[in-house]
Amino acid sequence: MNQLLASFLIGAIAFWGAFQLYPKIFQEAADEIAVLSLEDTIRHIELELAEIAATPGDTAGLILDTVKVELSAQRQDEENTTAELAVPVFDEASIGVDTTRKLTRGSKITVAFKAPAGDELLADGAHGELDLSALVLAARQALLATAKDDPVLLPKSVDIEVHFVLARSVKGEGKIKAYVIAVGGSSSQLDTGGNKIVLGYVNPLFAEEKKDSAGKAVPPI
Amino acid sequence: MLLFGSLRASCLALVGVLLLIPGEPARAGKVGPPRLVEALRAQPGEIYDYVVSFEEDETPDSGLAGQRETLPLKLLNGFAMRMPVADAFELADQPGIRWVWYLHPDEATGTIRVLQGLDYTVATLPLPNLANLSLGPPTKFYRTEPELDAPVQRALGAAAERGLIAIVAIGNTGEQAPGYVNPWSAPPWVISVGAWDHTTNAVWTGSSTAEPDRVDAWPDVVAPGVDVIGPWTSTREKSVERRAYDEANDRFRTQIPKEEQDKYTLMTGTSQAAAVVSGAAAQILRYLNGFIVEHKTSFGDALFELEAGPDRMSDYDRQAPRLTGTATPNDSGGMTYSYTLDEPWRLVKQILIDTAIPVPGARSWQAGAGLVDRDYINAQFGAYGSEPPQLLPVKVQ
């Protein structure tokens, strides 16, 4: 029940944030197509995951099981031998980004994340742009805060979804940032123009209970 | 406490003679793992990754794989490949095939990379040597009982034959999955390491523990693994939470100058404990190398004796079979250990076990033989110099 409550809270935040940003995003066409190095992108995500895994604190027995990255690629540069993806990039102003905010925390990765509106509910002091690890840790903290209420339930699995869009800085820095538009939401309308990272956490005791939702044969384990 | 004596020296001895064959894992049919054979048969068309191993006297024939890509695996005398289940069963029936082992999609890539890494390590490092495996498969593949026939476990055995001593973290699932351990830590030919929590003077609650009746899956030793000071990458800043955690630690503030604190951090887990044990094992191995060269010792010759008082006796000493040497009760209520030149992994592992400090309040299924005392090891096995930590350019081609 507690887990459901946490999921509900995160979901509610996600939908509220998405509701605020959705019209602005999808009424605007992408301003340009940018090519991202898939290798660099994955490397950044790995660094963030390493940070999450190494951060001290109660994990409620949940261990990272799967990572899914969905990018809304527009075309693939077949002539380029490196693994790159072309993704839509919006202007910061078109998605309502407050550019007066300064980056006060986070790592030196190229991809930075901005918390959705209402991020105060996720973690104290989690204002401004956030890196992925801080965002996920905040969600974990919120989950744990509810999971410790009686009756205490053992979490079996949690999927943390981070929906984001890419935007180029209006200051002409030439830097592409990733702005979070929802955390925990799985609304289908977000899939049309956004990108998504899903971190699936499971308790090893219940890992075998995970079923393939697509109905494919489940690999024996 | 420790008495070294050259009991006999004979002939020429080189470090390389420290090789012998660990016990061959039990066969479990040609397609493995046996527990999944029926489930696999029910999915003849599904495509999975497999490790294919040929008999020792056979040259791996990639022609049997047809047009499919294969990745050679030297320690296992075979290769990895992807194919439908039905083809795997058919391949397993071919002459010269020793076994065909199925890999779940979530473990396949990591497993194959580790197998390639072991190949590379054995091919490039001077042996005998050490490998710190602070890693394992995803935790959903942790097991309650050793599965010694699995590819990594077999490859670790083959590596041990060649002189590579593997120190493996037992895992960090002690709280959420009691009884389950990293399967790569379970073979007798590796050194399984749990984590000790100096803040509570007990085994770290996150350290994976086997079932009390599974002696074969217990950790061999434990070592400090909580808030261990280690390097922090220079390519990224610490998070706010990490910085605060580090700076709140008295030991961190005391040992690391303020201007250096961005280069170090505190980390917790059996990986950190495995690193500590790797350092101790390296010191022991250095001593053995020096001793053997100096005394021109041959395989099977007596090496030295070790006197251990009753304060170093634990339940583990009475329950786990010895890997090498003899243990004789002495007048002080302790033991006199006598060692002869044997396989490197047997000697180093047994010395770590014999010199471990029993931990009060912890049972052997939690702490193995006890706490590895790096300072004690350095002092007692320092006659041939100290073993500095070093980073090796290990990579997989």
B239/A217 CB distance under 8 A: no
Q: Return the percentage of chain B with pLDDT > 90, whole number.
A: 65
Interface of B with A in 15-44 (CB under 8 A): 36, 39-40, 43
Better pLDDT: A10 or B170: B170
A55/B242 CB distance under 8 A: yes
Better pLDDT: B42 or A99: B42
Better pLDDT: B172 or B8: B172
Residue of A nearest to B39 (CA): A220
B176/A204 CB distance under 8 A: yes
Please count the residue pairs, one from chain A and one from chain B, whose beta carbons lie less than 8 angstroms apart. 74
Cis omega before residue B128 (within 30°)?
Answer: yes
B62 touches chain A (CB under 8 A): no
ipTM: 0.73
* pLDDT confidence of residue A93: 58
* pLDDT confidence of residue B297: 93
Interface of B with A in 318-377 (CB under 8 A): none
Better pLDDT: B352 or B234: B352
Better pLDDT: B108 or A117: B108
Measured between CB atoms, which of B102, B140, B265 is closest to A204? Answer: B140
Distances (CA, A) of B183 to A8, B146, B150, B249, B389: 37, 6, 9, 33, 27
* pLDDT confidence of residue B5: 28
Q: Which of B329, B372, B382, B375 is nearest to B351 (CA)?
A: B372
Q: Return the percentage of chain B with pLDDT > 70, whole number.
A: 89
Query: Three-state secondary structure along A58-73?
Result: CCCCCEEEEEEEECCC
Better pLDDT: A184 or B3: A184
B176/A217 CB distance under 8 A: no
* pLDDT confidence of residue A91: 60
Interface of A with B in 142-201 (CB under 8 A): none
Structure confidence at residue B360 as a pLDDT band (50, 70, 90): confident
In the predicted model, is pLDDT for residue B164 greater than 90? yes
Residue A54 to chain B, least CA–CA distance (Å): 7
Q: Tens digits of per-residue pLDDT, B270-294?
A: 999 999 999 999 999 999 999 999 9
> What whole-number distance in Å separates Cα of residue B148 and Cα of residue B160?
14
* pLDDT confidence of residue B120: 95
Residue of A nearest to B245 (CA): A56
> What whole-number distance in Å separates Cα of residue B67 and Cα of residue B87?
13
Measured between CB atoms, which of A47, A208, A217 is closest to B46? Answer: A217
Average pLDDT score over residue span B4-31? 35
Give the residues of chain A that fall short of pLDDT 50: 1-29, 75-78, 80-81, 98-130, 185-192, 211-214
A107/B268 CB distance under 8 A: no
B86 touches chain A (CB under 8 A): no
Average pLDDT score over residue span B85-112? 93
| Contacts with A220 from chain B: Cβ below 8 Å | 36, 39-40, 43, 102, 104
Average pLDDT score over residue span B160-182? 93
Measured between CB atoms, which of B43, B104, B245 is closest to A221? Answer: B104
* pLDDT confidence of residue B55: 92
Q: Tens digits of per-residue pLDDT, B322-332?
A: 999 999 998 98
Mean pLDDT across chain B:
86
Domains of chain B in start order, with CATH, are 15-19+127-226+268-380 (3.40.50.200), 28-106 (3.30.70)
| Contacts with B239 from chain A: Cβ below 8 Å | 51, 55, 105-107, 131, 133-134
* pLDDT confidence of residue B350: 96
